[in-house]
Amino acid sequence: MTSPFTGEPPVEVPLSRAPLVKVLIQLKFPINAAINTPEGVSPFQVALTEHYPVMRQEQQLAVQLPQGVQSVMQLWRLTDLEGAWAVVLGSDFVAMETSRYTSRADLLERWSVVLDALVTARLAPAVTDRLGVRYTNQIVGDEMLSDLEQLVRPEVLGICNVELPEGSSFQAISSQAHFILDGMELRASWGVLPPNIVMTPGIDSVDDRSWVFDIDVYAERLQAFSQENVNNDVARAAEQVHSFFRWAVTEEFLRGHGGEV
């Protein structure tokens, strides 16, 4: 691939040892007060019981600036029995996240079930504010990091490829990129992190150096809610994440994580 933004999208290559630590889809909308009450969210829970039988209530502190006013938002987290897949519903968003991603087709099918439940429960918004799809990859350990120049493109490797004196190594390097696309935006962050340091919220730290590659494709615009359009936009965003990922990594990276190329 010469560019992650032109040409036909690359064919998905299943990775049996995928470095994905988290995949997130989020749809934001104006506040729906009914979601703050157990009675309001109950039909949503019922609609998803087969797939997400465990529901727990959480609280999130929100601060409105510049006034500094604090408020507490009720969140409802529904998970499968293993805790590998979760749906989170708040008064102004619905999200789905997983640490056990298998394929884009599976992800999109599961997201469609969540939207169906939102509509069935009569909690679907009239308009939406933001839609985002985010994939976070992480490889851990000095053995993997020593081979970075074989695993990622030179454009992504950047200063990691600089020659160092014998016995030296890079401890921490961070890079970012932001692209304005046709109706969407892409933000990517990547770099080497020291032990016990995180770059992406919601990702657990590790006791070794790691290389993190975080890709977020999103659209921020006020528009009328359409279940079909949301599903299409999610599919398009996930495809763009995959295209950027495949452009950034080499075939050696894919083979090293169980891909057949």
Same domain, 151 and 178: yes
Task: Say if residue 213's pLDDT is above 60.
Answer: yes
The last residue of one of the domains, among 74, 106, 124, is 124
Same domain, 67 and 50: yes
Q: Is the pTM of this model over 0.75?
A: yes
Average pLDDT, the chain: 89
Same domain, 194 and 104: no
The last residue of one of the domains, among 108, 124, 140, is 124
Indicate the pLDDT class of residue 223, thresholds 50, 70 and 90. Answer: very high
User: Looking at 18-22, 65-69, 96-100, 226-230, which range is the least confident one?
Assistant: 65-69
Same domain, 139 and 230: yes
The last residue of one of the domains, among 124, 148, 175, is 124
Is position 51 within any domain? yes
Same domain, 141 and 118: no
Same domain, 17 and 141: yes
Whole-number pLDDT of residue 146: 76
Residue-range definition of the domain harbouring residue 36: 31-124
Same domain, 193 and 98: no
Average pLDDT over residues 3-30: 92
Specify the higher pLDDT residue, 172 or 34.
Answer: 34
Same domain, 209 and 147: yes
Domain count, the chain: 2
Query: Structure tokens of 220?
Result: 């921020």
Average pLDDT over residues 219-236: 96
Whole-number pLDDT of residue 143: 67
Indicate the pLDDT class of residue 158, thresholds 50, 70 and 90. Answer: confident
Is position 161 within any domain? yes
Task: Say if residue 9's pLDDT is above 60.
Answer: yes
Specify the higher pLDDT residue, 83 or 70.
Answer: 83
Is position 2 within any domain? no
pLDDT digits (tens, 9 = 90+) for 100-144: 999 999 999 999 999 999 999 999 999 999 999 999 999 887 767
pLDDT digits (tens, 9 = 90+) for 36-75: 899 999 999 999 999 999 999 988 766 555 666 666 778 9
Same domain, 41 and 113: yes
Indicate the pLDDT class of residue 192, thresholds 50, 70 and 90. Answer: confident
